[in-house]
Amino acid sequence: MQRIKCIISYDGSLFSGYQVQVDKRTVQGEIEAVLTKMHKTAVKVIASGRTDAGVHAYGQVIHFDTTLDIPAARWVQALNAMLPHDISVLSAEYAEPSFHARYDAKGKKYRYVIDLRKIRDPLKRNYSFHYPHDINVERIEKAIPYIVGTHDFSSFCAANTDVLDKVRTIYSIQCLLEGNQLTLTYSGNGFLYNMVRILTGTLVEIGNGKRKPEEMKDIISAMDRGAAGKTAPAQGLYLQEVYY
């Protein structure tokens, strides 16, 4: 038995999220179906974390155990030949038996894309948050320093989570405006359920003048989901990279 580590990319538009769900199309379900066909027995896949319906990934990391003797490079070819076109295996390598895609992760990078054009682009509807309103990037940049660092991010976590420890460290948040596209890139040691989307929704409310940049400090201190802004839509979110 050997352990394989893969980096995968997927378009989340037609998935009900990463994690297996009964009678629903999921990323994990598609990968496990291919591996089960190859092994002629059930194979369990573990990821660095789940992503919601509509969320995309450039650098999701998974691992699984195999009894097949296949060179690492051939795993990429074999899996991509059988996987649907909205999932790709970017790399594969043999890992230590103790490697764990979820528990060994030291941090993650997420990217959130906002389309600011006045008229929606139908070709971008599944890959960005269309926000056809004025937004002040300088206001967003003034709020970012309040977020960076180690905090209890209870205000930025979906209320239905069962996670007790909501302390996380945000290493950096980059804000980049290119034409009509605003991209927010978040790096941290870990993220709570919907945390990036709630942070983004709150930063958008700061950018449009609904909130002041310095309010971010009080929102964090409140440790109350009701204190933060709306949850930004799923389709603008991308899991960019997982650090080990």
| Domain ranges (residues) in the chain | 2-95, 107-243
Q: At what angle do helices 215-222 and 195-207 cross, to 10 degrees?
A: 150
| Other C-beta atoms lying within 10 Å of the C-beta of residue 97 | 9
Active site residue 165: no
Fold of domain 107-243: Alpha-Beta Plaits (3.30.70)
CB distance 143 to 217 below 8 Å: no
Q: Tell me the pLDDT tens digit for each residue of 4-21.
A: 999 999 999 999 999 999
Residue 54: pLDDT band (50, 70, 90) is: very high
Question: Are the folds of 2-95 and 107-243 the same?
Answer: yes
H or E element in which residue 213 lies:
none
Q: How far apart are CA 144 and CA 213, in angstroms?
A: 8
Burial 189-206 (b: 16+ CB within 10 A, else e): ebbbbbbbbbbbbbbbbb
Overall average pLDDT of the 79-102 stretch: 98
pLDDT at 160: 79
Q: Tell me the pLDDT tens digit for each residue of 111-151.
A: 999 999 999 999 999 999 999 999 999 999 999 999 999 99
pLDDT at 115: 98
> How far from chain centre, in Å, is Cα 198?
13
| CA dihedral angle for residue 116, residue 129, residue 242, residue 224, rounded to 10 degrees | 110
Fold of domain 2-95: Alpha-Beta Plaits (3.30.70)
pLDDT at 24: 97
pLDDT at 171: 98
Q: Tell me the pLDDT tens digit for each residue of 218-237.
A: 999 999 999 999 999 999 99
Overall average pLDDT of the 209-218 stretch: 97
Q: How far apart are CA 23 and CA 187, in angstroms?
A: 34
Q: How far apart are CA 200 and CA 143, in angstroms?
A: 11
pLDDT at 138: 97
pLDDT at 139: 98
CB distance 225 to 201 below 8 Å: no
CB distance 46 to 27 below 8 Å: no
Mean per-residue pLDDT over the chain, rounded: 97
214: exposed, middle or buried (C-beta count within 10 Å: 0-12, 13-18, 19+)?
Answer: exposed
Q: Tell me the pLDDT tens digit for each residue of 141-183.
A: 999 999 999 999 999 999 878 888 999 999 999 999 999 999 9
- Exactly one of 11, 23, 52, 115 is catalytic; which is it? 52
| Other C-beta atoms lying within 10 Å of the C-beta of residue 88 | 15
pLDDT at 125: 95
Q: Give the type of residue at 149.
A: G
